[in-house]
Amino acid sequence: MKSINWTIESIPDLTGKTVLVTGGNSGLGFEAVKAFGQNGAFVVMACRSLAKGEEAKKQLIELNPTASISVMELDLTDLKSIHCFVNQFKENHSRLDILLNNAGIMMVPYGLTKDGFENQIGTNHLGHFALTGQLLELLKTTPNSRVVNVSSMAHKSGVMDMDNLLYENGKDYSPMKAYGRSKLSNLLFTYELQRFFEKNKIDSIAVAAHPGVSDTNLFNHAAPKWLMNLLRPLFLFMIQPASMGVLPEIRAAVDADVKGGQYYGPDGKREMKGYPVLVESTEASHNENDAHKLWELSEKLTGVSFTA
Ligand SMILES: NC(=O)c1ccc[n+]([C@@H]2O[C@H](COP(=O)([O-])OP(=O)(O)OC[C@H]3O[C@@H](n4cnc5c(N)ncnc54)[C@H](OP(=O)(O)O)[C@@H]3O)[C@@H](O)[C@H]2O)c1
């Protein structure tokens, strides 16, 4: 007997909930904001460009005039920006039900964030680590809160090197290797965060998700736009629309049956597309020693400590 698919219709009423989505102006983040807003949540879109955020909000309000959406500036490559964002968020909000750490970049050439971290680990992992740590107080005081980190099938190729996490001076760097490491870091962080919540009896869970291969702007980082447009027809048979790709992260964020430490992805062949189900991540992602070391290193690099 085929089980019933989890779809956009499965989202429960989110009235009264405050949801924060990083990278809410594009791709999967945009679809997530749309879905949360349509189901009654108050949604904050954290965007590195306020102009892009406001433009996306305009489109979302046209689709659903009653949606409650606010746009705030957040640059995950800049610890100061993250700190300012958190201060402002705390000034305006007394709860945080869902933190969806969705923003990301993929396969960019070697480069550094404002704080000198390799760009992909800096944006995809360290930025979200610093954001989560500084929002911990709100997550702790909001009953039944959730943190959802967005990983990727690319985590499978990720290899951790705690002695050279950031590919210092470009040593051993390749765009794919660094993306894989950043997405493996998302999972190591999720599982360690869940253990932190359990150990400290915090009423919050940490969950991970991946979108298979979805049609978004992400691939524009990996190759010039003209090349992507050329390759697009070839990709079309294996990719799914962002409105489908977003379902695992939405399910991880709102399904009442979800448990801390789980990982959701599409149910299709090789998890490339389909409806969201529980999936497995690699053995490397469950390496508690690496997770612990990454946590300590992330605290040291970002200067953000998670205090129970
Ligand atoms: N699409 C896929 O097939 C796929 C597969 C596996 C995993 N993922 C993951 O899904 C997540 C969402 O990506 P997407 O596919 O929706 O790509 P996307 O359309 O390119 O959206 C990425 C979002 O992240 C934002 N962002 C990038 N750098 C940022 C920074 N420094 N500070 C704040 N925001 C920043 C982007 O802002 P701008 O608009 O200003 O650039 C954009 O809003 C990523 O974590 C990605 O790794 C996607």
Domain definitions of the chain by residue range: 8-302
Report residue 184 as tokens: 């493996």
Between the CA of 201 and the centroid of ligand 1 the distance, in Å, is 32
Distance set, CA 63 to CA 56, 94, 118 (Å): 11, 28, 38
- The CA distance from 247 to 253, in Å, is 10
Average confidence score pLDDT of the chain: 96
Q: Which residues are catalytic?
A: 179
Residue with tokens 């989110």: 14
Tell the residue number behind the tokens 């970002």, with chain if given. 302
Report the distance separating Cα 182 and Cα 188, nearest Å.
10
Give Cα separations from 96 to 50, 127, 215, 243, 251 (angstroms).
21, 18, 29, 24, 17
Around ligand 1, the residues with Cβ closer than 6 Å are: 22-23, 25-29, 48-49, 52, 74-77, 102-106, 123, 150, 152, 210-211, 213-214, 216-218
pLDDT for position 291 = 98
d(CA 243, CA 222) in angstroms, rounded, equals: 21
Residue nearest to atom 27 of ligand 1 (CA): 104
Give 241's strand partners.
Answer: 215
Q: Which residue has the tokens 């679809």?
A: 31
Query: What is d(CA 213, CA 242) in angstroms, rounded to the nearest whole number?
Result: 9
244: number of Cβ within 10 Å? 23
Of how many residues is the chain composed? 308
Protein residue with least CA distance to atom 44, ligand 1: 104
For residue 93, give the nearest of 13, 200, 16 by alpha carbon: 16
Q: Which CATH superfamily is domain 8-302 in?
A: NAD(P)-binding Rossmann-like Domain (3.40.50.720)
Whole-number pLDDT of residue 237: 78
Q: What is the pLDDT of residue 242?
A: 97
Q: Which of 147, 176, 175, 171 is nearest to 161 (CA)?
A: 171
**Residue 122 to residue 115: CA distance in whole angstroms:** 9
Look at phi and psi of residue 92 and say left if phi exceeds 0, alpha if psi is from -120 to 50, else beta. alpha
Instruction: At 78, list the tokens.
Output: 């800049």
Q: What is the pTM of this model?
A: 0.97
Backbone φ, ψ for residue 278 (5° rounding): -70, 130
List, for the chain, all residue ranges whose pLDDT scores fall below the cut of 70.
1-2
DSSP alpha helices (H): ranges in 39-113? 50-63, 79-92
Taking the C-alpha atoms of residue 148 and residue 299, their distance in angstroms, rounded to an integer, is 19
pLDDT digits (tens, 9 = 90+) for 118-145: 999 999 999 999 999 999 999 999 999 9
Q: Which of 21, 102, 108, 218 to mutate to test the pocket of ligand 1 (most atoms within 8 A of CB)?
A: 218
Q: How far apart are CA 211 and CA 264, in angstroms?
A: 9
Q: How far is the CA of 3 from the centre of ligand 1 (A)?
A: 31
Mutate to test the pocket of ligand 1, among 34, 54, 60, 216 (most ligand atoms within 8 A of CB): 216
Atom number, ligand 1, closest to the C-alpha of residue 123: 31
Residue 76 in contact with residue 123, Cβ under 8 Å?
yes
Report the pLDDT value the prediction gives residue 59, as an integer from 0 to 100.
98
Instruction: Please give the Cα distance from 47 to 127 (Å, whole number).
Output: 13
pLDDT at 40: 98
**Protein residue whose Cα sits closest to atom 46 of ligand 1:** 104
